[in-house]
Amino acid sequence: MIFDTIADILTGVFLILGAFLSLAAGVGLIRFPDAIARLHATTKPQILGLAFVLLAIALQERRISTILVLLLLLVFQMLTAPVSAHMIARAGYRGGIIAPESLFVDELGQAIDDAPQEQSEPTKSTHPSQPAD
Amino acid sequence: MNEWVFLAVGVMLTSASVLALFRIIQGPSILDRMIASDMLLTTMICALGAEMVYNSHTKTLPAMLVLATTAFLGSVVVARYVSRNSHS
């Protein structure tokens, strides 16, 4: 009886927190100036906001089968959301959409600068007559 | 449960979706549109969950799983497309 009341209150709090994270991501999506900053804003509700909503569902439907499906959904989202955000940011860097002046630390640029030298040096040493493409 | 909680949740999720739609329409690059549509799909997943809490059923759990899969596949495909176009 008293547990149901506490679960209802916690459900409302978790739902409002998840919806507020989505709203904050929407405001950041409009107001931030750069693609990287917008990516930073929108990756917050992808895991934490979804986790709040799933907690609210689990508090209302307290069965082991439902909670297992919710756990599967959360683990799946935690596996796939960082991969997709990483792919989008990397494609933006490679495609020149992200301005290099907006980056304070550019480790991927150093890695790209180092990579062709490591690949072209063995080919030059083994085939000195062929021009390097 | 209190109806005002669900009203506030619905207003916040709806305005987040509208803001994401603005960014999809207005976005200067394809990556901005992809980020915004990712966020729109996440908002849809959250809205499906909130509707399940409101009506106290669990029938749309598979739809939430399918939406999560679609968001991942779509963003990865668009990222590959953009990076391949920049190289060639």
Domains, chain B, with CATH or none:
2-86 (1.10.287)
d(Cα A125, Cα A116) in Å, to the nearest integer? 14
Q: Is the residue at A122 inside a domain?
A: no
Whole-model pTM: value is 0.82
Q: Is the residue at A8 inside a domain?
A: yes
Return the residue in B30, B41, B43 with the most chain A beta carbons within 10 A, the one to mutate for interface testing.
Answer: B43
pLDDT digits (tens, 9 = 90+) for A25-52: 999 999 988 888 888 888 888 899 999 9
Q: Is the residue at A76 inside a domain?
A: yes
Q: Is the residue at A49 inside a domain?
A: yes
Average pLDDT over residues A3-29: 91
d(Cα B3, Cα B54) in Å, to the nearest integer? 9
Q: Is the residue at A123 inside a domain?
A: no
Give the total number of structural domains in chain A: 1
Per cent of chain B over pLDDT 90 is: 40
pLDDT digits (tens, 9 = 90+) for B4-30: 889 999 999 999 999 999 999 987 888
Contacts of residue B82, Cβ cutoff 8 Å, sequence gap at least 6:
A91, A92, A94, A95, A97, B30, B31
Nearest Cα to Cα of residue A18 among B70, B33, B66, B8: B8
d(Cα A95, Cα A107) in Å, to the nearest integer? 16
Pull the structure tokens for residue A27: 């405001």
Contact A83 B22 (CB under 8 A): no
d(Cα A46, Cα A20) in Å, to the nearest integer? 12
Contacts of residue A126, Cβ cutoff 8 Å, sequence gap at least 6:
none
Instruction: Reduce the DSSP state of residue A112 to 3 states and report it.
Output: helix
pLDDT at A133 over 70: no
Q: How many CB atoms are closer than 10 A to CB B67?
A: 17
Q: How far is B36 from chain A (nearest CA, A)?
A: 7
Structural domain of A94:
2-102
Chain B, window 1-30: residues with a beta carbon less than 8 angstroms from a chain A beta carbon: 1-2, 5-6, 8-9, 12-13, 15-20, 22-23, 29
pLDDT at A94 over 70: yes
Q: Is the residue at A111 inside a domain?
A: no
pLDDT at B85 over 90: no
Q: Is the residue at A109 inside a domain?
A: no
Q: Is the residue at A115 inside a domain?
A: no
Give the distance, in angstroms, between the CA of residue A14 and the centroid of all CA atoms in the same chain.
21
Contact B80 A18 (CB under 8 A): no
